Amino acid sequence: MFRERIEEHYGNLTPGFRRLADFILNQTLDVAFLTATELSRRVGIDPATVVRFSQEIGYSGFRELSREIKAHVRGEIVQTYRKAVEAGSEEDLIQALFASKSQDLEQFATTEAPHLAQALKTLKSAQRIWIVGEFPSYNIAQYLAESLAPLNIPIFHFTPSMAETAQSVNGMQPGDVLLALVFGTPGIDTGHAVKLAGARGIPTVCITDNGTTLAAREAETVVTTPGQSPLDISSFSVSLLIVATLKDALLNSKKETAMAYMAQIENALEATKQAQSN
């Protein structure tokens, strides 16, 4: 097992090898999703050092070491899923689900954070934002559009029906960005909306739990969120958290504007309370 091999050779490792060993032991889940080049970049060493380290502890190269790390992580994930399925009490079930979602988020942070950062960059530059989703995703689109009101720019949400898509796409202008949300459904109509917007030169972003959907294939920037559930039921709870994180980051990009907007809302509410009490 890779952990035992690292511990066996640890005392004789060079400082660079030890830094790599510590990263593998402490960030095993991350390492399972990294190439040798990506791993070397994270640790701050040369890619060839990753290969030499693997050989130093008894592997033919990083590929063999990586396969063993992946098998270990896969086993941990399976064990977490099993705990959820076999939970004997409500508390056990909740704890197992938290563990599963924590693993999902850690994996997402390792593999998809750069894509989410690109989505944030694209949306920050938008003069107007259009958000599209169908079925449950429409409700998330509506929530996001309303939550982003403090940005003080026009934000629209629509269902990708034939009429609404045509009307919305025709109303898009240079400087606009289309954000498509696809969770739990194929999102075919949403994909057509993304395709039409892209044809008009509108930058498009897709956040989805299935990277093979039409919207994901058509969008310029794609963020793929974890979509599995240990209970074998449809769940996009982690996707909701990622959407909420994007919302927070967008509001933070215009913090003064957002705070001024919220202050106006609070003042209006206070004025309403005073009027009602008189």
Q: pLDDT digit string (tens) for 61-94?
A: 999 999 888 887 777 665 655 655 566 688 877 7
| Residue environment code for 90-121, b if the CB has 16+ CB neighbours within 10 A, otherwise e | eeebeebbebbbebbbebbebbbeebbeebbe
pLDDT value at residue 80: 58
Angstrom distance (rounded) from CA 214 to CA 191: 5
Concatenated DSSP letters of 111-145: HTHHHHHHHHHHHHT-SEEEEE--THHHHHHHHHH
pLDDT value at residue 231: 57
- The answer on pLDDT for 264 being more than 90 is no
pLDDT band at 201 (very low <50, low <70, confident <90, very high): very high
Most confident of 2-16, 156-170, 230-244, 254-268: 156-170
Secondary structure of residue 207 in the 3-state scheme = strand
Domains of the chain are: 1-110 (1.10.10.10), 113-262 (3.40.50.10490)
Task: State the helix-helix crossing angle for 2-9 and 62-85, rounded to 10 degrees.
Answer: 130
Angstrom distance (rounded) from CA 112 to CA 208: 12
8 A C-beta contact, residue 144 and residue 207: no
The residue ranking higher by pLDDT, 156 or 91, is: 156
pLDDT band at 97 (very low <50, low <70, confident <90, very high): confident
Q: How far is CA 166 from the centre of its chain?
A: 29
The whole-number average pLDDT for the span 97-118 is 83
- The answer on pLDDT for 8 being more than 70 is yes
Angstrom distance (rounded) from CA 208 to CA 38: 24
8 A C-beta contact, residue 220 and residue 198: yes
Angstrom distance (rounded) from CA 47 to CA 145: 44
> Which strands form 176-182's sheet, in the order they lie side by side?
155-158, 128-132, 176-182, 204-208, 221-224
pLDDT value at residue 29: 75
pLDDT value at residue 267: 74
- The answer on pLDDT for 199 being more than 90 is yes
pTM over 0.75: no
| Cα 60–Cα 61–Cα 62 angle in degrees, nearest 5 | 145
- The answer on pLDDT for 140 being more than 90 is yes
Angstrom distance (rounded) from CA 136 to CA 138: 5
- The answer on pLDDT for 171 being more than 70 is yes
Angstrom distance (rounded) from CA 56 to CA 225: 36
Burial of 231 from C-beta contacts in 10 A (0-12 / 13-18 / 19+): middle
Per-residue pLDDT tens over the stretch 28-42:
877 888 889 988 888
